[in-house]
C-alpha cells in the first residue's frame, strides 16, 4: 500500500461499535491501512436503516461510515459465538467498542477477560459520559453531550443556543478515539502491553471549554452571540445576500479588514473595527450592504480580495468548488458520495474505500489467521 493507506498495514482492528462515533473512528484506522472486521449482532447495526437511500437494505449513512470494512454477525449472548469472538480478540491489535459501561462485562467479556485473552490488545471504549461517574449508564445523543460538555451554551444567537450539523460530539470523539488508539499502540511498542482507553463524547466537548471556563470564573464571559468569534463582531460574521444565500467574512486581522473596507467602497468602516462588542450598528451596516446584491455578485467582487471572504456553499455546490475538486477528496460511486481520509502522505492522494461487505465466520478467521 502507498500513501496514508500504508501507515497501519498489517494492523488488525475489531470494530464492535454501532451508529456513528465508533464506526467512524474504526474507519479512519482502516483508511490508514488497518484491516477492520466489524462485529454486528444478528439483526445488524441499527444504522443500516438510518436515513434515506437504503439500497439493498443498507442506508447511505451506513455504507459511508463502514466502507473499507468487512462485517461478521455474531450473537455474543451465545457461548459458542462468544468463544469465536475471543478467538478473534486473540489475533487482534485493537478493539473499538461503544457500549454503555458494563455491557460487555455482563456478556462475560469484561476488560479483564479481554486482557487475559490478549495482553497486547489496545481496547478503546467510546461511551457517552465515560466509564464511571453518576452518568456512566445514562442514555444520550450528540445534542445532550454538547449540552453538558459546554458546547451549546456558547453557540447560537443571544435569543437561544443552536447546535451544529453534522453532529459535533460524534465526529470529534471519533477523531479523539482514533488518536488515543494510535497512542496506545505506540506505548505498546515500548512496553509490550496493551491498554484500556476510556473516551467519552461529553468530555471530548468539555476539553474545549478551558477558555470559556476561565473567563466565566473571572466574570469576563460575554453573552452568547456577542463575542468576537460568536457573532458579536462585524469583521467575523455571516451575512445574507439578496438571493437568500449567505457569505462568510473572517477579516480579524487589521490588514484583511482594511482590504475588505476598501473593496466595499467604505474606507470609513476601517477605523470602526474594534468598536465595543456587540457591534450591532456596524453589523447592521454590513448586513444592509450585503443584502442589496446577490451572492454571485459578492463572490465576483470579493473572492480575489485578500480579506478572508468566502461564500457559504450548499451541499450540491461542494464538489464543483475549484479547491475541493482539485484536492479530489469527494468521490462518487454507484450513487454514493464519499469524503476520503483528509490527509496526504508524501503527495500521495487518499485512495477510495472498498464497499462494506459481509463475511462468514470461517472467512473471517481464515483472513485473520493468514
Is residue 165 located within the same domain as residue 300? Answer: no
d(Cα 6, Cα 190) in Å, to the nearest integer? 21
174 within some domain: yes
Does residue 197 sit in the same domain as residue 251? no
Residues 30 and 113 in one domain: yes
Residue 25, domain extent: 3-208+333-369
93 falls within a domain: yes
Kindly report the pTM of this predicted structure. Answer: 0.94
Same domain for 296 and 340, yes or no, is no
- Say if CB 112 and CB 118 are below 8 A apart: no
pLDDT in tens, 96-121: 999 999 999 999 999 999 999 999 99
* 164 and 251 share one domain: no
Q: Is 197 helix (H, G, I), strand (E, B) or coil?
A: strand
In which residue are the cell numbers 463572490 written? 299
**How many other CB atoms are found less than 10 A from the CB of residue 56?**
5
Query: Which grid coordinates are listed for 236?
Result: 467575523
User: Across residues 162-178, what is the average pLDDT?
Assistant: 95
Which domain CATH number covers 52? 3.40.50.10540
Backbone angles phi, psi at 167, to 5 degrees: -60, 120
Among 179, 178, 171, which Cα is nearest to 205's? Answer: 171
Cα separation, 45 vs 20, in Å, equals: 10
Contacts of 298 by beta carbon, 8 Å cutoff, 6+ apart? 241, 247, 290, 309, 311
Q: Which residues are catalytic?
A: 170
**Cell numbers representing residue 80 in the block:** 459458542
Do 17 and 139 belong together in one domain? Answer: yes
Residues 148 and 278 in one domain: no
CATH number, domain of 276, equals 3.30.1540.10
- Looking at residues 33-44, what average pLDDT do you find? 97
| Domain tally, the chain | 2
pLDDT at 78: 97
d(CA 320, CA 156): 29
Q: What angle do CA 151, 156, 158 make, to 5 degrees?
A: 120
Beta bridge partners of 40: 73
Average pLDDT, the chain: 95
- The H or E element containing residue 338 is strand 336-339
Give me the pLDDT at residue 180, please: 98
Give yes or no: residues 64 and 143 share one domain. Answer: yes
Amino acid at each position: 500500500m502507498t500513501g496514508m493507506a500504508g501507515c497501519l498495514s498489517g494492523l488488525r482492528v475489531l470494530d464492535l461499535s454501532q451508529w456513528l462515533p465508533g464506526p467512524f473512528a474504526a474507519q479512519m484506522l482502516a483508511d490508514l491501512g488497518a484491516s477492520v472486521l466489524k462485529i454486528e449482532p444478528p439483526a445488524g447495526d441499527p444504522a443500516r436503516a438510518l436515513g434515506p437511500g437504503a439500497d439493498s437494505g443498507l442506508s447511505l449513512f451506513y455504507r459511508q461510515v463502514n466502507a473499507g470494512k468487512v462485517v461478521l454477525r455474531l450473537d455474543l449472548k451465545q457461548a459458542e459465538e462468544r468463544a469465536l469472538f475471543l478467538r478473534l480478540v486473540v489475533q487482534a491489535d485493537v478493539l473499538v467498542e461503544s457500549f454503555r459501561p458494563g455491557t460487555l462485562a455482563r456478556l462475560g467479556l469484561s476488560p479483564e477477560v479481554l486482557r487475559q485473552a490478549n495482553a497486547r490488545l489496545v481496547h478503546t471504549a467510546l461511551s457517552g459520559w465515560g466509564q464511571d461517574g453518576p452518568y456512566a449508564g445514562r442514555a444520550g445523543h450528540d445534542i445532550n453531550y454538547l449540552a453538558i460538555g459546554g458546547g451549546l451554551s456558547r453557540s447560537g444567537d443571544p435569543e437561544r443556543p443552536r447546535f451544529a450539523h453534522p453532529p459535533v460530539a460524534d465526529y470529534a470523539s471519533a477523531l479523539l478515539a482514533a488518536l488515543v488508539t494510535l497512542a496506545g499502540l505506540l506505548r505498546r511498542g515500548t512496553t509490550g502491553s496493551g491498554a484500556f482507553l476510556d473516551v467519552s463524547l461529553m468530555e471530548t466537548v468539555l476539553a474545549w471549554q478551558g477558555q470559556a471556563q476561565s473567563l466565566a470564573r473571572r466574570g469576563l464571559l460575554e453573552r452568547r452571540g456577542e463575542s468576537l468569534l460568536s457573532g458579536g463582531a462585524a469583521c467575523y460574521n455571516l451575512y445574507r445576500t439578496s438571493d437568500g444565500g449567505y457569505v462568510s467574512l473572517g477579516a480579524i486581522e487589521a490588514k484583511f479588514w482594511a482590504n475588505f473596507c476598501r473593496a466595499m467602497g467604505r474606507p470609513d468602516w476601517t477605523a470602526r473595527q474594534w468598536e465595543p462588542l456587540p457591534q450591532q450598528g456596524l453589523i447592521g451596516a454590513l448586513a444592509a450592504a450585503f443584502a442589496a446584491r446577490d451572492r454571485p455578485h459578492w463572490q465576483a467582487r470579493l473572492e480575489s480580495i485578500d480579506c478572508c471572504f468566502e461564500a457559504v456553499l450548499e451541499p450540491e455546490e461542494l464538489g464543483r468548488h475549484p479547491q475541493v475538486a482539485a484536492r479530489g477528496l469527494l468521490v462518487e460511486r454507484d450513487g454514493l458520495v464519499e469524503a476520503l481520509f483528509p490527509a496526504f502522505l508524501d503527495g500521495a492522494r487518499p485512495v477510495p474505500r472498498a464497499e462494506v461487505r459481509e463475511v462468514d465466520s470461517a472467512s473471517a478467521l481464515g483472513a485473520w489467521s493468514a
